[in-house]
Amino acid sequence: MTRQELRAYALENREDNDVIEVLIKTANPNGEWYPYPQTDEDLEKMHEILKNYLKKKQGN
């Protein structure tokens, strides 16, 4: 099962804690990590980060 397939399965089966654990354990340790948003300002920053990431991923 590819990581993308595993992620899709996890989204369809949110009550399956084992699959969530596998996703966490197989995450890229060198990937970028962002703190959980604590304020509305943090949430807005996260929104911008995700929007820019998706644009970059789609090649726009």
| Closest by CA position to 47, among listed 59, 37, 33 | 37
- How many other C-beta atoms can be found within 10 angstroms of the C-beta atom of residue 24? 8
Burial, 9: exposed, middle or buried (Cβ in 10 Å; 0-12, 13-18, 19+)?
middle
Query: Is the pTM of the predicted complex or chain greater than 0.75?
Result: no
Give the N- to C-terminal CA distance of the chain in Å, as an integer.
29
Domain ranges across the chain = 3-58
**pLDDT tens-place values along the chain, 60 residues long:** 888 899 899 999 999 999 988 988 888 878 878 888 899 999 999 999 989 989 998 885
The tokens for 40 are 């509305």
